[in-house]
Amino acid sequence: MKLSQVLSNMIRNFFVIFGIIIIGTAILNPDFIFTSEKILLVTFMAFATDCVNLIYWSRKELSERERNVRRILHFILIEVIVLTFGNVFAICSGWLETIIFGAEIMVIYVLVCVIDWLLDRKTANQINEKLRLLKSENQQ
Amino acid sequence: MKISIETIDVNKEEEILIRCHEVNDRILNCVKNIEKQNADLIGYNGDSIHRLQFADVYYFEAVDNKVFIYCKNKVYESKQKLYELEELCPPKKFFRASKSFILNISKIDFVKPSLSGRFDATLDNGETIVVSRQYVPILKSKLGL
């Protein structure tokens, strides 16, 4: 992917992350008051989380191993950012709560990966079905 | 538009002559399409030069500024760039699978998602080529999905 495409995706993702945090907090924690300072913090968090995606960008095609290494790095950085801001927003405090929160983030991360894979499998099945059709048409 | 075909002697050179009122986009498109049909795919294997058919090609790969043409059992080098080959390839039959690969759709046996977030395309000859996520929509559209 070209860097310009990556950057345009990042701008889109930034607003998506920002929106999800604000709307999610408003729904799950209606008593939470968004001061200008907190909105600024959310902006920083969305920006930092978004920037982590740059880890996947490369001029050359990444090998399977390189991609998996980057995925692990991506996960670690996401954990660090979310846990840091979790402590700043007082979502968690102390070691135990931080570890539990970290485990929750890991579960969500794995779930997202599994959902992604299931959607990809559905796409692959559609493609395979079409390929089979094409081959049978060519044989006739 | 009237189309005439004239059979000529085998010793004479074949030619296509377009007689038109003006050279517009439609005519230029016709010329481009004819040129594509006549496009030769030349592969180099050591000192020998081979004329190849697109239908025999499994995939093109760019490695370190060199482009290779992979057929069932043989590999040839191409002097053309990958993007030039992409333009030459029959558009419905080939697609860009990643930064360095162009695949022949008819040679794909099946595709499956990989855990790294990409797709693996297994070809008739058993080889597996990585298909980048960003190019999957292109493959889907070429298959009419």
Work out the pLDDT band at B35, boundaries 50, 70, 90.
low
Predicted confidence at residue A103, as pLDDT, reads 93
Predicted confidence at residue A64, as pLDDT, reads 82
User: Helix (H, G, I), strand (E, B), or coil: what is residue B69?
Assistant: strand
Between the CA atoms of A127, A129, A134 and A137, what dihedral angle is there, to the nearest 10 degrees? -170
pLDDT at B32 over 80: no
Given A64, A127, A135, which is nearest B114 (Cβ)? A64
Work out the pLDDT band at B36, boundaries 50, 70, 90.
low
Query: Which residue from B minimizes the CA distance to A139?
Result: B106
pLDDT at B122 over 90: yes
Q: Say whether pTM exceeds 0.90.
A: no
For B55-106, the pLDDT digits (tens) are: 899 999 999 889 999 998 899 999 889 998 988 888 888 999 998 999 999 9
Beta strands, E only, B23-136: 41-45, 48-52, 59-63, 66-70, 75-78, 94-98, 101-104, 108-113, 119-123, 128-131
Whether A59 and A71 share a structural domain = yes
Side-chain-facing half-sphere of B136: CA atoms under 13 Å = 23
Average pLDDT of B109-135?
A: 90
Q: A36-52 and A3-28 are packed helices; what angle lies between their axes, rounded to 10 degrees?
A: 140
> Which residues of chain A register pLDDT less than 50?
none
Region of B117 please: left (phi>0), alpha (psi -120 to 50) or beta: left
Residue to substitute from B63, B103, B112, B116, interface A, most A β-carbons within 10 A: B116
Domain that holds residue A134: 93-140
Q: What separation in angstroms does the CA of A132 have from each of B54, B97, B109, B143?
A: 21, 19, 8, 11
Sign of the CA dihedral running B126, B128, B133, B138: negative
Q: Which of B143, B106, B111, B116 is nearest to B128 (CA)?
A: B111
Whether A20 and A77 share a structural domain = yes
Average pLDDT of B99-121?
A: 90
Residue to substitute from B61, B104, B107, B112, interface A, most A β-carbons within 10 A: B112
Whether A9 and A57 share a structural domain = yes
Whether B62 contacts B51, CB under 8 Å: no
Hey, what domains does chain B have and what are their CATH numbers? 25-142 (2.40.50.1020)
Question: In this predicted model, which residue has the larger pLDDT, B15 or B84?
Answer: B84
Whether A80 and A98 share a structural domain = no
Whether A66 and A25 share a structural domain = yes
Number of domains in chain A: 2
Whether A82 and A16 share a structural domain = yes
Predicted confidence at residue B65, as pLDDT, reads 87
Give B67's strand partners.
B62, B78
Contact flag A61-B144 (C-beta cutoff 8 Å): no
Predicted confidence at residue B37, as pLDDT, reads 62
Inter-chain Cβ pairs, chain A and chain B, closer than 8 A: 60
Residue with tokens 């495409």: A5
Average pLDDT of B37-64?
A: 85
Interface of B with A in 118-137 (CB under 8 A): 118-119, 130, 132, 134, 136
